[in-house]
Amino acid sequence: MVTLINRLAQAVLWVGAAAVGATLLMSCIAPMEVVSDHDSSVDFAQYRSYAWIADMPLIAAEDSAVSLTQFDVQRIETAIESELAAKGYRRVELDEAPCFVISFTVGARDKITIESFPDRYRGVWYGRWPHYGPQADSYEIDDLGIDVFDETKKEPVWHGAVTKGTSADSQLPIDEAVRAIIAQFPPAA
């Protein structure tokens, strides 16, 4: 009987430890932030077909710390094409008079946040001693942006982007990021 109780107690401890571990792991995963903007004078209902802005639709930022392989670029292109097809848009070649053209950018940059509060609001306690100085955190930000240009006007009409703070061993999931961005295209009328 005592052995059975010990085994049950160990099982409860293992389950509790696993739950705490899972909670800690999930708290380290940064959520994606999706934003979009558009030209409100454009009637997006007129758009039926699209093309890539160029043979290489990736517009690379010079200051980006990201190095993409051709496989990564192809994954992004495929994800965008799949999401647009699901919305009823037809891909055509650039010389076939598309309604709009698309490009995308990918970037990563380091970000530092510094927080400092007036004396009366400070006081994060470490052990027995309060910490009164500014606090600084650094992390990496991954970005994927998709831009839509009206082919007739040759002007930008829509921009969507997803940003995610990451740790060194994680990446912005391509399919999930593209799906989140394209979910906001076309903008609600």
Do 43 and 135 lie in one domain? The reply is: yes
**Across 137-152, average pLDDT:** 76
Confidence label for 115 from pLDDT (cuts 50, 70 and 90): low
Do 68 and 131 lie in one domain? The reply is: yes
pLDDT value at 176 more than 80: yes
Nearest to 107 by CA among 146, 145, 158: 145
| 8 Å CB contact between 81 and 91 | yes
pLDDT value at 174 more than 60: yes
Confidence label for 68 from pLDDT (cuts 50, 70 and 90): confident
Provide the token pair at 136.
């600084």
Question: For 81-104, what is each residue's pLDDT tens digit?
Answer: 999 999 999 999 999 999 999 999
pLDDT of residue 81: 97
3-state secondary structure of 146: strand
- In eight-state DSSP terms, residue 30 is P
| 8 Å CB contact between 183 and 35 | no
Do 7 and 60 lie in one domain? The reply is: no
The boundaries of the domain holding residue 17 are 1-30
How many CB atoms sit inside 10 A of residue 94's CB?
14
Do 93 and 2 lie in one domain? The reply is: no
Confidence label for 112 from pLDDT (cuts 50, 70 and 90): low
CATH number at residue 92: 3.30.160
Do 3 and 15 lie in one domain? The reply is: yes
How many CB atoms sit inside 10 A of residue 165's CB?
16
Question: Is residue 189 one of the residues assigned to a domain?
Answer: no
Question: Is residue 130 one of the residues assigned to a domain?
Answer: yes
Question: For 19-61, what is each residue's pLDDT tens digit?
Answer: 333 333 333 455 788 999 999 999 999 999 999 999 989 887 6
Question: Is residue 91 one of the residues assigned to a domain?
Answer: yes
Nearest to 107 by CA among 66, 68, 62: 66
Question: For 155-169, what is each residue's pLDDT tens digit?
Answer: 999 999 998 765 444
Do 106 and 24 lie in one domain? The reply is: no
Provide the token pair at 170.
């994680």
